[in-house]
Amino acid sequence: MASLRFQPFNPARWLLWGATAVLFLVAPLVFRESFALTMLTQMGAFIIFALSYNMLLGQGGMLSFGHAVYSGLGAYFSVHVLNMIGKGTIVFPVMLLPLVGGLAGLAFGIIFGYVTTKKAGTTFAMISLGIGELVHACVLMFPGFFGGEGGVSTNRVVGQPFLGITFGPAIQVYYLVAFWCFVCMIAMFALTQTPLGRMANAVRDNPERAEFVGYDTQKVRFLQLVLAGFFAGVSGALSCINFEIVTDENVSAIRSGGVLLATFIGGTGFFFGPILGSVVFIFFVVALSGFTQAWLLYLGLFFLAMVLYAPGGIASLIMMQLPVIRARRLRALALPYLLALAAGLVAFAGLVGVVEMVYRISDASLDTQMSLFGIGFDAKSARPWIAFSLVLAAGLAALGFAARHVGERWGAIQNQIQGKQP
């Protein structure tokens, strides 16, 4: 997206980063409940993880199914260092523990990256999956270091307090995560501007040409993966401090899949995409899982809808509006957007009804008498089934109609904008 240009001072960029820093500072003051604070802390750690994943998928064109290996192993190494600090074997500030995780991630990036980056594309995807499974199986094989099924637990309140910071209260952990998240965000953004970051893009887009220019594509992929491993390790260490336990789930395929989902939903084409994706993903995981057992189904459906209809993710949907806003034509689109949103909500309500009823009927331990959207009904009777199916069908039909309408308007406005500025 960004073309090469000489711009020693970019006020918009400074404004954005400044706003991000302020957001990190005031977020826990706005959302005061402890539930919100847990969620914000998890989001911070996951943002680093997703951004590091996007160094592979978005910037390097490497679809990895085993990225949790680096964050998970980083977490395991930091949990042992934290325990050693607790026993007094070594003296090390807890604040710098993410560096330990990062270095572990980096080291394993060097080891596994040598094998995985031999190939690109689909083969890379399969090999990364294999490495992920290999590590996960090994973690269960060596209970001495990895703690087997139960994992390794720890206590983060160890060592000498620094300026009164013990990391006992959750708010202190939040600010630790926020600090590291901000630093890592800047570092990863800076990396995209380096020659390596640029070459990673070139290798993603046209490996043959990159080779003709004189770069070793495997080396570029390797370096990119090693650096991504470092940041993944940092996020692993932060989640280890936050949860005070590291289990085999940290290196599992579920976690690797999760970061892929989050990054893709957010959008791989823009630097800030994975940040949005992490916020949405953690919201799904933490908030929605409290409401319904079918949250993974909703997440999967959301992901599939994004793959089918918005492969650029949320970030690209936002960036697409910028030229329209600049041309002051957003108002013409407001009504169609609202229509589409309303239709989508109706369809979603129908879907939720059907899914929740299926769930009630299949789980014998649950009562089929249920209530949804404030309406009480019996999932075994035919009437709610007919009603929700009708709502779903009507919503989908309306959504199709609204989407066509948006498309027509969109095309007309694009033509106008391009007509004005040839």
Residues of this chain that bind other proteins (CB under 8 A): 61, 63, 65, 115, 118-123, 125-127, 129-131, 133-134, 137-138, 140-142, 144, 253, 257, 260-261, 264, 294, 296-297, 299-301, 303-304, 307-308, 311, 355, 358-359, 362-363
DSSP, collapsed to helix, strand or coil, labels residue 157 as coil
Strand ranges inside 307-374, DSSP E: 369-372
Q: Are 59 and 192 spatial neighbours (Cβ–Cβ below 8 Å)?
A: yes
Least distance CB 134 / other proteins (angstroms) = 4
- The phi and psi torsions of 119 (rounded to 5 degrees) equal -120, 160
> Of 126 and 396, which CB lies nearer to other proteins in the complex structure?
126
Least distance CB 230 / other proteins (angstroms) = 22
> Of 363 and 408, which CB lies nearer to other proteins in the complex structure?
363
Least distance CB 272 / other proteins (angstroms) = 20
CA–CA distance, 8 with 94 (Å, rounded to integer): 37
Q: Which amino acid is at 330?
A: L
The residues facing 246 across adjacent strands are 152
> Of 45 and 135, which CB lies nearer to other proteins in the complex structure?
135
> Of 79 and 261, which CB lies nearer to other proteins in the complex structure?
261
Contacts of 155 (CB under 8 A, 6+ apart): 82, 86, 244
> Of 65 and 377, which CB lies nearer to other proteins in the complex structure?
65
- H helical segments located in 267-329: 273-282, 289-291, 295-309, 313-326
3-state SS of 115-128 is HHCCCCHHHHHHHH
Least distance CB 60 / other proteins (angstroms) = 12
Least distance CB 113 / other proteins (angstroms) = 13
Q: Which amino acid is at 253?
A: A
Least distance CB 327 / other proteins (angstroms) = 27
> Of 62 and 176, which CB lies nearer to other proteins in the complex structure?
62
Contacts of 180 (CB under 8 A, 6+ apart): 44, 48, 98, 234, 238
User: What is the number of other CB atoms lying within 10 angstroms of the CB of residue 58?
Assistant: 26
Least distance CB 140 / other proteins (angstroms) = 8
Tokens, residue 117: 């980056």
> Of 64 and 278, which CB lies nearer to other proteins in the complex structure?
64
